[in-house]
Amino acid sequence: MSDHDQSLWRKTCQEHVESTSLSADLTVDLAVIGGGYTGCAAALTAARAGASVCLLEAQEIGHGGSGRNVGLVNAGLWLPPEDIRGYLGANAGDRLIDLLAAAPSAVFDLINQHGIACDPVRKGTLHCAHSTAGSRNLQTRYAQLTASGAPVKLLSAEQARQRTGSAAFHEALFDPRAGTIQPLAYVRGLARCATEVGAQVFTNSPVQSLKHTAGVWELKTSSGTIRAKSVMQATNAYHQHLQASAPAYVPVYYFQYSTGPLSDNLRASLLPGGEGAWDTGLIMTSFRMDSQGRLIIGAMGDLGHVGSGSHSAWIRRMMTALYPQLADQALVEGWHGRIAMTSDHLPKITRIGPNALSVHGFSGRGIGPGTVFGRMMAESLLANDPALLPVPIVSSHRESWAGLRRAYFETGAALTHLIKARF
């Protein structure tokens, strides 16, 4: 595992789940492939409902995007409400908007109910306008969100300065429904809770083949076979093997760096209200504080790419542009993760066979939507009722020119970080 796979979250995680590799044959009601937010939420839901559940993770819980996440628990998707309705239609769109408006509450309720030690802070988030075009974007989002009943507030430049501690922004959109968590601790907490109510969780157990025969699914690993009535695949952007059911997406990389714990006076000058934040740039930047007073700042880009040096230099410039008082602070941790992006930025649920569903494509909004989708997909599979799903099933999903588009995003990020000074 490379250094850039070793996130700060691994070093500060207070949650642990007991697991071993699969070493025997089992028969269960539901087999879940993937130990991220979606898969762990599904396993917890099904086990609480009394079903026999087995979760198979190829690496360790939270190995993929769930353990490399920024940790912003947002309401909704990247898309504004009218775009969601445009893609799904009014009824299905309104239903998804309402479900995901409540997603932060679903996350924080689980944390409180099960005592998940993931540093939950529900002080809202700030979407910050980095330009006049960014202000227009926020004004459009504000109008659509308020029309949909969201309790968001549009903040002036001065209000944004007071809330962020930075004079860099033209406006900010505040969403009080949202918050921040330690993302790896949250997903490991979900897995722990699932085992406590009877789910069996196996790590370092990649599924090598998946087939349906005689009315039952067989999931083979190198050291055991699971027979299941139903299957849920939640591998997202960290899919291994199983090419027949591999999700189609555009891989987009996102990296983060953190400072060490800051002094009390520096902490007080950065995001004093405790919100998490990100900007409106096409090559987006996020910034937040953790429970130990570290600033965590990130942007689009792959630290394993040839342009990684430009990313590292850019993030230091960005940090000091936002917060000049941090000019002498070192960036001591750096890591990256992979996002599964879809062309329309909507998650996709596909049918991979009888009583078997796959989900992917949260496009960087994995915590809230992943938790909700995992719960509802488990409920749907156990009841054999597609009406319980958060979005309609699609028969298949394809992405054109995924490799070229991945290169476009990474090259754009590298060039932006190399030559452009946003502030």
Element containing residue 137 per DSSP (H, E): helix 132-147
- Exposure of 245 in the CB half-sphere (CA atoms within 13 A): 27
101-104's contacts with Cβ under 8 Å and 24+ in sequence apart are 101/75, 101/76, 101/148, 101/149, 101/150, 101/177, 102/75, 102/372, 103/73, 103/74, 103/75, 103/76, 103/367, 103/368, 103/369, 103/371, 103/372, 104/73, 104/74, 104/75, 104/177, 104/178, 104/179, 104/368
Contact between 372 and 81 under an 8 Å Cβ cutoff? The reply is: no
Burial class (CB in 10 A: 0-12, 13-18, 19+), 306: exposed
* pLDDT value for 311: 83
| pTM of structure | 0.94
Burial class (CB in 10 A: 0-12, 13-18, 19+), 42: buried
| DSSP H helices in 199-307 | 264-269
* pLDDT value for 408: 44
d(CA 385, CA 298): 40
3-31 per-position pLDDT tens digit: 556 789 999 999 999 999 999 999 999 99
CATH code, domain carrying 195: 3.50.50.60
**422 pLDDT band (50/70/90 cuts)?**
very low
Burial class (CB in 10 A: 0-12, 13-18, 19+), 200: buried
276-313 per-position pLDDT tens digit: 999 998 888 999 999 999 999 999 888 886 667 788 88
Contact between 76 and 32 under an 8 Å Cβ cutoff? The reply is: no
* pLDDT value for 399: 63
* pLDDT value for 1: 42
d(CA 216, CA 313): 53
Q: Work out how many domains the chain is built from and give that number.
A: 1
d(CA 271, CA 286): 12
257-275 per-position pLDDT tens digit: 999 999 999 999 999 999 9
* pLDDT value for 139: 98
183-241 per-position pLDDT tens digit: 999 999 999 999 999 999 999 999 999 999 999 999 999 999 999 999 999 999 898 87
What is the span of the domain harbouring residue 248? 3-419
Element containing residue 200 per DSSP (H, E): strand 200-202
154-198 per-position pLDDT tens digit: 999 999 999 999 999 999 999 999 999 999 999 999 999 999 999
Contact between 18 and 188 under an 8 Å Cβ cutoff? The reply is: no
Token pair of 195 as six digits = 């085992």
d(CA 181, CA 299): 18
Q: Is the pLDDT of residue 111 over 90?
A: yes
Token pair of 131 as six digits = 């330009």
